[in-house]
Amino acid sequence: MGKNLSIATILLLLVLASTKAQQVFDVKSYGAQPNADITQALTKAWKAACAVAGSKVVISAGVYKLGFVNLLGPCKGAIEFNLQGTLQAPLDVASLNGKDGWVVFEHIDGLTVSGGGVFDGKGQQAWQKNKCDKDKNCNVLPINIRFDKVTNSIVQDITSKDSKYFHINLLQCTKLQFQHVTITAPANSPNTDGIHVGHSSQITITNANIGTGDDCISFGAGAQDITVNQVTCGPGHGISVGSLGKYQNEEPVSGIRVTGATLSNTDNGVRIKTWPASSSGAATDIHFEDVVMNNVANPIIIDQNYCPNSQCSNQSPSKVKISNVSFKKISGSSSTQEAVNLICSKSVPCQQVVLSDIDLTYKGSGGSATSTCTNVQPAVSGKLNPPACANKN
């Protein structure tokens, strides 16, 4: 008994020795005050915390003004950004000096962002000036929160509000988890994508509540091994892979799994979109399952002629190859009669597309829900309402 106890005691001491208490760096210790600009205070607090292993930057309850910050690593060890209050971005886009982000976390391993606080992008003025929905060569606008080269990290219990452009953007991230994140902007706010994932892998998004003026979640080139589970979406443009094929030599998209989503009053449901006249590319191993649609336009859509506002100079077929895609257990209501619309490329027809257990109703004029298929022959199983590929082109 005594021998066992001593071993247990030794193990406990080892554990305690290996888990030092976090060192706290409160921005108020660096001069931050509510209702004032804390850009310098936060920058100093972050720099000090980053130089210590196992640290925590704290922004306590209150409202604070914040300009552009680049919270840069690598740090000595794991670091937590604990936001309990509300950060407010400058109203004027010009004051951010052409930056493509407002709060940027960069080159960090072992980051935690938490605290229940709000990143308020104050986007109302920027939306009026935003031409990006009509002009693909528009000026860059700042993203609320950028994660660049962030690994082995977690983002939980935060809110992103009224971003000037995308709310959250991932670039070259690996093993990054999002849990209980809220993203909110009005339906008429242009290009306010909720979470955009590009050139990143092993990303999970769970229990998020997203309502924006653009895609709730979007996956760009190089998004691989992404899991989305229990997300509510609306308003917005739905959950989208793409648009793809806009640029030369895009990395493929693969391993996207969306389960347990609920979409309400969105402009699209679950969607894969590629530009016509595109460069070669690939989107494969993409699966949508257990999705509920409430009054959603275009609930299930593959659009390989994606060309908003006639921005395409050449309508030759897309060269992005779409394969190994499934839509399973998708039910609810469509606000448009064409509930299933699979428009694939004449140049590289879609392959290995599955429709299974689809039940989508339409209550408008003109009859019941319909489906259209172009350059694709999906495998079908289970209940199919509307019948698969009733209209084939």
The SS3 call for residue 310 is helix
- Tell me the two tokens of residue 19: 């888990």
Q: From the candidates 162, 237, 285, 303, give the one annotated as an active-site residue.
A: 237
Tokens 């660049």 belong to which residue? 148
Q: From the candidates 214, 215, 267, 285, give the one annotated as an active-site residue.
A: 214
Distance separating alpha carbons of residues 375 and 381, to the nearest angstrom: 19
Concerning whether 214 is annotated as a catalytic residue, the answer is yes
Beta-sheet pairing, 217-219 with 239-244: parallel
Helices in the chain by DSSP H: which ranges?
A: 2-18, 39-50, 124-129
Distance separating alpha carbons of residues 162 and 186, to the nearest angstrom: 8
Helices in 95-237 by DSSP H: which ranges?
A: 124-129
- Tell me the two tokens of residue 35: 């209702």
By CB atoms closer than 10 A (0-12, 13-18, 19+), residue 42 is buried
- CB 386 within 8 Å of CB 340: yes
Distance separating alpha carbons of residues 226 and 87, to the nearest angstrom: 29
Is the N-terminal amide bond of 299 cis, ω within 30° of 0? Answer: no
Tokens 């449901």 belong to which residue? 269
- CB 216 within 8 Å of CB 178: no
Distance separating alpha carbons of residues 80 and 46, to the nearest angstrom: 10
- CB 372 within 8 Å of CB 353: no
- CB 267 within 8 Å of CB 299: no
Give catalytic residues, as residue numbers.
214, 237
